[in-house]
Chains A and B, each alone.
Chain A
Amino acid sequence: MVVYVAVGLQEGHLLDRDTADSFANHIRQLLHEFGRLHPNVLVKTSLYPESELREQIRRRNLSGLGPDLILASADLANEFLQQGLVSAMPLDQEERNQIDPALLDQVIDSDGHQAGQPLVIFTQLACFDRRRVPTPPATLKELLAQTATGTRVGLSLDLGGLLWSAGSLGGLSGISSAARGLQPSLEQKQGIVRWMRWLQEANNQQRVTFFSDQASLRQRLAAGSLDWISCQSSDLDGLWRSLGSHLGVSILPDGEGQRASPLNNLRVLALGRNSSRHQRAMAIALARYSLKPLVQRTLTLDNRSFLPANRYVSVPVRSSQILATMVAARQQGESSEALLSWFHRHDPGVKQLEAVLVPLVFGVIEPEAATEAAVGILRTQP
């Protein structure tokens, strides 16, 4: 019997040979062990760019050829459940207990249906070249100070790659209020203005460069033309291959008294709609197996690019600096988890916000005007 698993590649990752190999390495052990328990089952994975996943699942479902399991971000899984592209994931009480309630809440709809089973969390970090940045900046002030001494910093112009700095500058609460449809207070608005002003100032620095996407940042750090970038933990594999032990990882710089707000990406397993009875049973068995503490721990330690969703898995933070950083990044990002789902629900809104940020960064519009425009966009989204 064959169990088909469709895997959505996180944004910023090209589907190439390296990515395919890297993914195969990530799950090889999991599938190998599962295969020993179910020798008659072949688990067949297919990678899709996440931006195309919805359309592919929809088309394959119409033909009866849809996947049995879908590995995607939590918000995409919510959207799939809402659109009827996936079935609700049956989780019993014991399984629910194993998962951090905050993670479960990210994939539950208003009727209490579970859109997917949390699997792993990719965190947003700072990646740097140790040869050029011996001590990573802990605050935004330090970051700009380091650029003055020669550190070349790369920042992404897409909203997901910039929003972490809103937390550091006190802009997050205003953005969150506006995203909930509320009018931000004067103080909250000032926080947003502060964030936007900082973005403009950063662009004025000689050694700070904004790039259109995360992939450009990753490629330039690997090539040695940048020294410090904001990155996703899913980037670590590729960066390790290029930089080896020179790759340094830290949490994103906080502000003066405010924490950065990284967008950590929860990946979940959702159930397809076309499975036969046996395929459905085996898909659920595979999802449950992947949640086992031992399996989650092995996956985490083997890959060191994500955190486990099972809360009973103890992450060995003392033996691994990368894992310790990811745990810290996860705590740092708890404040922005609600915003993450807003972004996924409002693709057009994100594009409109980016259309405000680009002229702001390049000094075409003033921070105050950009703040008003951003609040307006956030509040008018349904």
Chain B
Amino acid sequence: MRELISEVLSWLGYLERGSVQLQLLLLAAVLLGLRLRWTRRWLRRWPRAVAPLLGSAAALLLSLGLQSRSIPAGLLQFLGLSWLGWTLLDLLRMPLLRWLPQQRVHELFSRIVRPLYLLLAILALINQLDSTQDLAVIGIGKLFGIALTIGNISTAVLVIYGLLVASGPPAAALAWLLHRLIGISDGSRKALEIILSYTVVGLGITAVCFQLGLNSTALLAIAGGLSVGLGFGIKEVFSNFISGIWLLFEGSVRPGEVLMLDGDSCEVRKLGLRATLLWRDRDNAELLIPNQTFFTEAATSYTASDRMRRSQVNVGAAYHHDPATVIGLLEATALQVPLVLKQPAPKALLLNYGDFAINYALRFWIANPMNNVAICSEMNQAIWRAFQEHQIEIPFPQQVEYAMTWPPQAHEPNLGNPRT
């Protein structure tokens, strides 16, 4: 590693050269010029697609100027072109957004396009300063007797990153094909997709290890170390990983499912390998719940076999109203509320005789469990309006307070000034 640092520091020696200083100063001048208020005002006059290109264009024009005077300008030209390429990448996003969802485009750029461009640009810059092949053979240590060099470590990291990023789409395609061919469930398809993706990554990592020169004994030693790690340090991670795969296969926790969590209904947004992302409607919160939780604890689902939910509101009516009238009115009211299913039909029940009212329950079915709170609110309002209309009283408890005399034997009930 010391060798590498020394190599990198030695590049500073180029700054001694007048032509290098000039090229860097011109680039710095362009960058500073773009910060000036006057320049920013001037840039606003240009079309939005063109304005970002002007900085790099200025750098390229300056490099041509230097070239015409036989002054080396390749560095400025290279930096200008790299800058131009970077800006054009941004412009490339716009047409892609027409064809792909924003999330996909964002992932494509942040995970593949931009890192790849940056890597190639850095390699090309290093190639201007030094011999990349020579740098690649710099040793950085030994692992199981294998000499590791910058080149083989960088290649290994790149291949693994490439596998992690790029194994998704082919795995998804293969899982989709199997889904269509042999009719596996949607949950199993997703599970298969993840398993295929991680199998490819696992095989890739093994191949990279062999490419580095690690033999099977060394790989077994690493596997042994990982086993100990799994037993102690990363047991939870592994447990969540296996739980995630299992849940996917089982299909009980899938994106779109509605589960009850701490009394709130939550929609499953994404089933990751470590945790499940849930969305809670009440406060628009996104909750990351370790997969193990669903695997080991009981969970209530409204969507396991169908997406309907039977909901209920409670209401009290005064004793002097005929229960049959109230029950009929409640059931008729429920049918008027939008989003309440006609079938199964709403059902009103007399629950019990309370202290100051007869308590009724109105049970009804809704199609989307996530709408429960809103529909219950609608239902309660509709009941209030229907009771008003039919002069059905919703009684409330009344309290009568008396001033007490002491001793209690002297107290005469109902003689004081009542206060409610």
Contacts and interface: CB of A to CB of B under 8 A. Distances in A.
Interface of A: 1-4, 6, 15-17, 19-20, 42, 44, 46-49, 56, 59-65, 274-276, 278-279
A63 B71 CA distance: 9
Nearest to A60: B128
Contact of A63 (B18, B74, B138, B147): B74
Given A44-B13, A48-B131, 17 more contacts: A1-B16, A6-B131, A16-B137, A20-B134, A42-B10, A44-B7, A48-B134, A59-B74, A60-B74, A61-B72, A63-B128, A64-B19, A65-B17, A65-B72, A65-B129, A279-B16, A279-B17
B301 interface: no
Nearest to B152: A17
A64 B133 contact: no
A1 B147 contact: no
A321 B13 CA distance: 43
Contact of A64 (B17, B130, B149): B17
Interface residues of B, number: 30
A60 B127 CA distance: 8
A41 to B, nearest CB: 10
A16 B23 CA distance: 34
B128 to A, nearest CB: 5
B9 to A, nearest CB: 9
Contact of B10 (A2, A63, A64, A275): A2
14 contacts: A1-B16, A2-B12, A4-B13, A20-B137, A20-B138, A42-B13, A46-B130, A56-B127, A63-B72, A63-B73, A274-B19, A275-B17, A276-B17, A279-B17
B75 A65 contact: yes
A19 B149 CA distance: 13
B78 A63 contact: yes
The A interface, classified by DSSP as helix, strand, loop or mixed, is: mixed
B79 to A, nearest CB: 10
Among A2, A16, A17, A63, which residue has the most Cβ atoms of chain B within 10 A? A63
Contacts, number: 85
B138 to A, nearest CB: 8
B25 to A, nearest CB: 13
B10 A15 contact: no
Contacts of B130: 46
B75 A63 contact: yes
A225 B186 CA distance: 58
Contacts of A2: 10, 12-14, 16
A62 B127 CA distance: 13
A62 B133 contact: no
Nearest to A43: B10
A47 B130 CA distance: 9
Contacts of A56: 127, 131
Interface in B191-243: none
B139 A17 contact: yes
- Ranked 10 nearest A-B pairs via Cβ: A2-B13, A63-B74, A64-B72, A64-B19, A62-B74, A46-B131, A63-B75, A47-B134, A44-B10, A17-B137
Interface string B127-155: 11111011001110000000101000000
Interface in B275-309: none
B98 to A, nearest CB: 39
Interface in B71-102: 71-75, 77-78
Contacts of B7: 44
A278 B13 CA distance: 11
Interface of B: 7, 10, 12-14, 16-20, 23, 71-75, 77-78, 127-131, 133-134, 137-139, 147, 149
A275 B16 CA distance: 9
Contacts of A274: 17, 19, 72
Nearest to A278: B16
A4 B17 CA distance: 12
Contacts of A44: 7, 10, 13
Nearest to A53: B131
Contacts of A276: 16-18
Contact of A15 (B17, B19, B134): B134
Nearest to B76: A63
Nearest to A44: B10
A17 B131 contact: no
A1 B78 contact: no
Contacts of A46: 130-131, 134
B134 A65 contact: no
B147 to A, nearest CB: 6
A60 B78 CA distance: 11
A1 B137 contact: no
A47 B131 contact: yes
A230 B152 CA distance: 32
Contacts of B18: 276
Nearest to B18: A276
A48 B7 CA distance: 15
B392 to A, nearest CB: 90
A65 B10 contact: no
A128 to B, nearest CB: 29
A46 to B, nearest CB: 4
Contact of B149 (A6, A17, A62): A17
A65 B72 CA distance: 9
A165 B62 CA distance: 57
A176 B75 CA distance: 44
Contact of B133 (A48, A60, A65): A48
